[in-house]
Structure 1
Amino acid sequence: MRTSNRRKILDAIIAIVERDGITAVTFDAVAAETGLTRGGLLYHFPSREALILAAHQHLADQWEAGMEKIAGGKADTVEPAERDAAYIQSCAQMARRVELLMMLESAGEPDLDSLWQGVLDRWSPPVPDDDDPAALARFVARLAADGLWVHEAMSNRPLPAKLKERVCRELVTMAESMTRDSKNS
């Protein structure tokens, strides 16, 4: 399959989900969106589930690539503070309704959920131990960033750019200051 057709199909799925929801993704809808034949789609994606899985993978890869760009490297090559900052900034900069819908759709579906969970495991702070204040602060900043992401993905009134930048800076500072404080203790 030519990369351009694969990308065209994935972009079509994303557009359909963004506009009409996940249940609207059918071979006929994707064929109409792309201008490709239904048979051509079936040749490359033998089932609707294969289409959906590929779209999940594509979106998870885009999200991770965005965080890598923000952090300046892969999750395992950057410092925890850089991972935290990249995660927080991605929540503000990359929030779209389609990711939210796809992530919600993946709940309870191990094959789909593992795609998203893998990115989360690499980039977001883990659930902290009760007795680690620095880890708790990083986790609270992550939860606040998740809330920002949901707000931006769902709201008809997204935050003004300057306010969103300020919120991100505050969350990054919160996560970094606790990490610094724990190192200096």
Structure 2
Amino acid sequence: MTSSRDRILDAFEEVLAVEGERYATVEAVAARAGVSKGGLLYHFPAKDQLAAALCDRLVALAAEDAESMRTAPEGPARYYVRSSHYAGTPLDRALMAVSRLQQAGDARAREVIESVSGQWLSILRDALGSLDAARAVKLIGDGLYYHALHSALGGHPATTEADEGLLEVVDRITGATAVAERSP
């Protein structure tokens, strides 16, 4: 059973993702969470505390994903591209909600999004030994994610059938990087 605090945070995340920051009022979040406005304010006395808690949630989920990426048997590059689909996971939901906060001008949300993105790029750079190769792989994954997200929001979940071809491209990039590093 989830705590009231977690239900409130889940509700805030959902209202942000579905309706946007403008509609994520204390009243709307309390109603979605099934708590009174006073119950919400007990846990989060101000809306900016809700936003901060959601940013903290994204940081924690992204750290878990970064560890999975670092230790993936297929390697970080393949992992990044293979996992670049909106699947409604806790990480996906938090990322979308914090992105909505960023769009509304929340400076902490912007910092968190940039930090998380930078963390993934850093892992790719460390694995590939090249910032340019890391950026190429990251942009492939980011493009897939963007496409999958907008397809899902339009009611048409993206398929992963074309990913094998992209993974072959990633293999060429990572293989070319390894060959370039071995060359004098």
TM-score over 0.5 (shorter chain) = yes
Deviation at 1:21, TM superposition (A): 1.7
Match of 1:181 among 176, 179, 182: 179
Within 5 Å, give how 1:78-97 maps onto structure 2: 82-92=75-85, 94=87, 96=92
Q: Name the counterpart of 2:144.
A: 148
Q: Name the counterpart of 2:108.
A: 111
Kept after mapping to 1: 8 A contact 2:78/2:170: yes
Kept after mapping to 1: 8 A contact 2:85/2:149: no
Distance 1:100 1:35, change over 3 A: closer
Aligned length: 172
Cα-Cα RMSD:
3.2
1:60 and 1:91 map into 2 onto residues whose CA distance is 17
Unaligned ranges ≥5, structure 1 = none
Q: So what's the TM-score if we normalise by structure 2?
A: 0.74
Q: Give the secondary-structure state (helix, strand or coil) at the position aligned to 2:45.
A: coil
Q: Name the counterpart of 1:5.
A: 4
Kept after mapping to 2: 8 A contact 1:100/1:150: no
Kept after mapping to 2: 8 A contact 1:97/1:154: no
1:21 and 2:17 equivalent? no
Within 5 Å, give how 1:165-176 maps onto structure 2: 165-167=163-165, 169-176=167-174
Kept after mapping to 1: 8 A contact 2:57/2:94: no
Deviation at 1:50, TM superposition (A): 1.2
Deviation at 1:98, TM superposition (A): 6.4
Deviation at 1:69, TM superposition (A): 2.9
Unaligned ranges ≥5, structure 2 = none
Q: Name the counterpart of 1:64.
A: 63
Deviation at 1:148, TM superposition (A): 1.0
Identity %: 26
Q: Which amino acid aligns with 2:117?
A: L
Distance 1:175 1:45, change over 3 A: farther
Kept after mapping to 2: 8 A contact 1:87/1:124: no
1:148-175 deviation line (CA, Å, top 9, x unaligned): 1111111233432322x32552353144
1:98-133 deviation line (CA, Å, top 9, x unaligned): 63453253255432222222222222149x9xxxx9
Q: Which amino acid aligns with 1:124?
A: L
1:171 and 1:54 map into 2 onto residues whose CA distance is 38
2:2 and 2:111 map into 1 onto residues whose CA distance is 24
Q: So what's the TM-score if we normalise by structure 1?
A: 0.74
Kept after mapping to 2: 8 A contact 1:12/1:34: yes
